[in-house]
Chain A
């Protein structure tokens, strides 16, 4: 288990909450307990044994989307508050404290390999041994399998030899909920299947899967012995190499929502825009905040399951930043789910691209 970096945590606990304007959970709740520095103060008190674990403390420390909005203005370049909060939460397991609301999700993970229950989306497909392994992710499978279909069609149109496996959840939700052991088990199972597939490139459309494979698997000693590529970069590559040739799109006015992980962890803000610029007929209008300054949709850290009301309020706040008549396009199943509120049309990048190819 990763140690909490006490010096960085205290830098944050002693900060006047400079980034509070960019913390979505604080902005929708108004609660000091979930302000960035507020959470750091609680975490520091836990570390110093001035506070004991109980449900309200765990709930407050869990109120972090890992959206990294706080990093936009944070003067401490070494600090990753969401990671420090995660590391703090992982220590709670020993005391048996957890969010009761996620108990069924944890059982689902154990029983079905997905927090949503029985997997509905496509399972193993394509040719075993094919170079490219497309990893769909449990959230797309459960909520928006149309994006997986679109990705498959695109890969076929581009003539890519690809396969899909009977994947398990990448492990990220389990860790977010404080169960690193379960996360590691899921990772080990996935790793076994991925190695067994014989693929040399793993493409994932879900930013959380991407971050988990690239950042957490090494921590859990489950390094993947193949290249992991994010969906936007991979499909852009196919476009640039002429394997995909888009024609005029039926969509005109589009506004791209940068998912936090692609924008701030992977720094992938140009790739999706380049894809959109290569589709004839599309006019992209930016929302109020975009690129690395994007604002979370409310779906980070599994909030749609853990804190559904907060997630919805954050999504509403984010939606107000988009031109009313634009189709919102994103590249993350959580963002899509969150932003899909009444009166708004929300699609994923792969679907927009597939429709024009």
Chain B
């Protein structure tokens, strides 16, 4: 049945007899109900939320198809699945909830989709040490719900909270909307358990900090499925905050807003939410503020005494840049609408090509990276909008998030490739990093060599050592070929 469907990027497939033999043997190990070669399951795990997949979906095509889907329920089962695949040299792709934005799960060489969603339990809630040990297939919103039930928060709220897994967060080095206080996922992971390609299971202890050599579990944070499967993670948690303070301001110029943020970060304030929008996004998200000034929204939370202190520091820094106080209502509006993602579906149906591109810059090149990328995107024929905001900030810099929408007319894929080429060239020329939190996946791999230089070679050697047959998520993270896409 799936034979009729065009799989645009399929590089190769495993011989069907091999897959059938594997299916039979793995079923005997983990149970037939956890294995499917049903074409519906194959079709449904063939993609993530990479916009190119959506464009192809409207044309009746898919990026590539896996050949088997498995749903392990325990670490032991993950180990059995991988060990057998390693022995047979069959590709394995970890699948969370498919919200990845860059084609990270596309099964370029067919093989086995290892869907992690049945590993969805909280294994331990450690009240004294403020830690939770969780299986990686748990949905983000359900993770936070369970923590809230016991009086805690995980502090991690990506916009995809309701449609991504804990494992996906670790695998992609995700960032939540409250990251300035709680950190990115890599700041929250204390220890992880992972399974290597050959089935070896290892787990580090959840002790605070160590000087016992490099933490090999931390190597898996951001590994996007190419090194193995992350099965559980021990993460930091926080008691639900005692106080929350909401504030918003506008600035005449974006540079003023950036400078105000830099100053309060330098002074040690750590509001949970810091979002500075350019004038265009200010007008789009908060029409009542107009589209001439740049809005900054802030949410400070934690113990009351600390929140009050941070508020004072922040007020001083924003007034030094002539901010206009616009009150808490805009933040409330943002809180209510922050998970609402509907524009993309509508625009795609109207023939648009759209994407979001997030990069990281230091303060000294924050503004210039923004203007260079924006200009580069606007120069591509067909672009209607290229706007930006900063939403994750650090003492040393910030993450810039650009939204681009175009109506290219005939060849959408050529336009898509052009906008990315322009944006990445501008980003690298400015000295910014090519991704802050969406990761690399299939598509952004093309710029990994430029991003890392020799470092990519080192990563490749680590990959080869841990996965000598190259079965784990081939072609991702800039490791291995993706000929049909780069052509």
Interface residues of chain A, those whose CB is within 8 Å of chain B, are 7, 10-22, 26-27, 30-33, 35, 38, 41-42, 44-45, 48, 50-52, 54, 56-57, 59-60, 73, 75-76, 288
Contacts and interface: CB of A to CB of B under 8 A. Distances in A.
Nearest to B340: A75
B142 interface: yes
Contacts of A10: 58, 345, 349
Given A18-B162, A30-B117, A75-B342, A11 B40 contact: no
A159 B97 CA distance: 56
A44 to B, nearest CB: 8
B149 interface: yes
A7 B40 contact: no
B345 A56 contact: no
B349 A11 contact: yes
Interface stretch (B41-49, B254-262, B380-388): B41-49
Contact of A27 (B139, B160, B341): B139
B39 interface: yes
A92 to B, nearest CB: 14
A73 B338 CA distance: 11
A31 B44 contact: yes
Contacts of B36: 31
Given A14-B57, A14-B344, A20-B97, A73 B162 contact: yes
Contacts of A27: 120, 139, 142
Contacts of B43: 33, 42, 51
A73 B339 CA distance: 8
Contact of B40 (A13, A18, A19, A33): A33
Contacts of A42: 40, 43-44
Nearest to B48: A16
Contacts of B44: 31-33, 35, 38, 41-42, 60
A20 B349 contact: no
A56 B349 contact: no
B57 A13 contact: yes
Contact of A18 (B98, B115, B341, B349): B341
B60 A50 contact: yes
Given A30-B71, A41-B57, A73-B162, A16 B40 contact: no
B361 interface: no
12 contacts: A7-B349, A10-B345, A16-B341, A21-B142, A32-B41, A32-B115, A33-B40, A35-B44, A41-B57, A44-B57, A50-B60, A60-B44
Nearest to A73: B162
A14 B163 CA distance: 13
B344 A32 contact: no
Contacts of B320: none
Nearest to B101: A16
A21 B1 contact: no
B103 interface: no
Contacts of B139: 20-21, 27
A29 to B, nearest CB: 8
B163 A21 contact: yes
Q: Which 6 pairs between the two chains have the least Cβ-Cβ distance?
A: A30-B117, A75-B342, A32-B44, A14-B345, A33-B44, A21-B141
A11 B342 contact: yes
Given A11-B342, A16-B49, A30-B118, A60 B142 contact: no
B162 A15 contact: no
* Residue among B5, B145, B345, B346 with the highest chain A CB neighbour number at 10 A: B345
Contacts of B80: none
Contact of A56 (B40, B49, B54, B141): B40
A279 to B, nearest CB: 28
A255 to B, nearest CB: 15
Contacts of A22: 162
Given A20-B139, A76-B345, 4 more contacts: A17-B97, A21-B140, A30-B137, A288-B145
A56 to B, nearest CB: 5
